[in-house]
Structure 1
Amino acid sequence: MSEISEVLPQTPEREHKQSESSDTEYDVHYSPIISLPEVQVSLNEDDETEFLKIRAKLYRFDSLSEPAEWKERGTGELKILRHNENSSFRIVMRRDKTLKVCANHFITPWMELKPNSTNKKAFIYTVLGDFADEQVKSECLAVKFGSMENANLFKNKFEEAKKILKIDCDLYNGKVDKLINDSLNESLTENRNNEEAEEITKKLTELEVTNEDEKEE
């Protein structure tokens, strides 16, 4: 038996056990062959404040499949983010583990959450432009929560965001429309003034030509 043990290669565990009964101690440590630096990944949320963060499951309605059906898009953390400068709101959701984006779209004042007829913890809504697939798509989405408490919290925050948009976001509170109208009026006034100036210049030119003709006669 002792002969077999002498032939066997010494594993770290055996080395460690032997070191306990010997004067020499072995520090079992394996250095990595390749050292990879830590990479900081940006979520592109630096200019936004978290308005709500909640777990949910997301579905999209695939009208092109035969038959048309709801398809699961992912489960993970759903966030409502508020932009720090213009007070716009968007929904961002990433799948668990992979963190792949499965929802990325803005909230608008005219979006409506419709309760699911078969599940009180789920809502259905339509978005004109979702960027989850890195291209703009109109989607009909359904979001489901684990409890009625979470479902009600999402609904309340969603409706609160719509109210804030109408007050603080220039895109929806009328300020942008006013700026556009003012700009158009300025442009029209400038064009009108230019036309009047051209007309006056034309008349003065005609008058000078007439005077020159009279002098020659």
Structure 2
Amino acid sequence: MTDTSVEIQNNKDHKDDVENEHEEHDPYFEPIIHLPEVHIYSMEEDEEDLVKLRAKLYRYDTTEDPHQWKDRGTGEIKILCHLKQNTARVLMRRDRTWKICANHYITPVMELKPNCDSDRAWIWSVPADFADETPKPELLAVRFASAENAKLFKDAFEEAQRILEQNRNLPGDQGTSDESDNEVVEESDKEDEKENEKENSESKVESEVIDKLRELQVVDAGGKTG
């Protein structure tokens, strides 16, 4: 073997040793500052997802002439139901930025209508949407990738309305109303009793004063009792 071959082989062996050393070396550095774990709350913890689908949202802009539909955002649209508070809402956030582009309550009078006779899109009117923090009425339209997803959204929307109606008509709610009425009546009776006690007390004091006056004997200068 020539000197050149020996040198090449030595260089190769050295290179392999260096690579193996780098592969085996896995240093760990203790962090200088320990940061506490931060919990981020989405304000959806107490709500139940009835549906969660990807879609594209539009809003009808009436500030321009002529009026036109404008892209509101693409992302995941949800229907959330809060059973304790008996509320349901539509919530949608844009992809990447997570900025809210739809956030409004569902009411029993809302109605989803096909948009331009499409089986993948719905249109509905909202009396107050909180996407921009300031509530304002909106005319919204949503378009899904398939007719199946559009149907799932409509079914969940109507299910939320059914839950709201069902919980509103529960006997417990009526009982609560009756209890409130009874409390009002009881408070009124208590006020009447207090008023009667006050009148009786005043009458008693007045009678005592009259009796005391009758017991008094006033003697005039002539020695007569008046």
**Same fold (TM > 0.5):** yes
Letter in structure 2 aligned against 1:173: N
TM-superposed deviation, 1:194 = 0.7
Larger Rg: 2
Q: What does residue 53 of structure 2 align with?
A: 54
Deviations 1:143-187 (A, max 9, x none): 1112111111111121122112222x3xx2265565345324422
Q: What does residue 9 of structure 1 align with?
A: none
CA RMSD of aligned residues (A): 3.4
How has the CA–CA distance of structure 1 residues 156 and 40 changed in structure 2, closer, same or farther, with 3 Å as cutoff?
A: same
Letter in structure 2 aligned against 1:76: G
Q: What does residue 187 of structure 1 align with?
A: 184
Mind listing any 5+ residue stretches in structure 1 that lack a counterpart? 1-18
CA distance in 2, matches of 1:211, 1:55: 85
Q: What does residue 132 of structure 1 align with?
A: 131
CA distance in 2, matches of 1:63, 1:186: 49
TM-superposed deviation, 1:84 = 5.1
Q: What does residue 199 of structure 1 align with?
A: 196
- State the percentage of identical aligned residues: 42
- Larger CA deviation: 134-143 vs 82-91: 82-91
Whether 1:173 and 2:166 are equivalent positions in the alignment is no
TM-superposed deviation, 1:125 = 1.3
Letter in structure 1 aligned against 2:180: S
How has the CA–CA distance of structure 1 residues 214 and 80 changed in structure 2, closer, same or farther, with 3 Å as cutoff?
A: same
Within a 5 Å distance, the mapping from 1:86-101 to structure 2 comes to 86-101=85-100
Letter in structure 1 aligned against 2:186: T
TM-superposed deviation, 1:52 = 0.8
Deviations 1:29-63 (A, max 9, x none): 9x9xxx99786533222222221111111111222
Letter in structure 1 aligned against 2:132: D
Question: Please, which of 7, 13, 18 is the counterpart of residue 25 of structure 1?
Answer: 18
Tell me the TM-score normalized by structure 2.
Answer: 0.71
Mind listing any 5+ residue stretches in structure 2 that lack a counterpart? 1-10, 215-226
Whether 1:155 and 2:154 are equivalent positions in the alignment is yes
Deviations 1:85-139 (A, max 9, x none): 3453222111111111111222222221122235332111122332222232222
Letter in structure 2 aligned against 1:189: E
How has the CA–CA distance of structure 1 residues 180 and 65 changed in structure 2, closer, same or farther, with 3 Å as cutoff?
A: farther
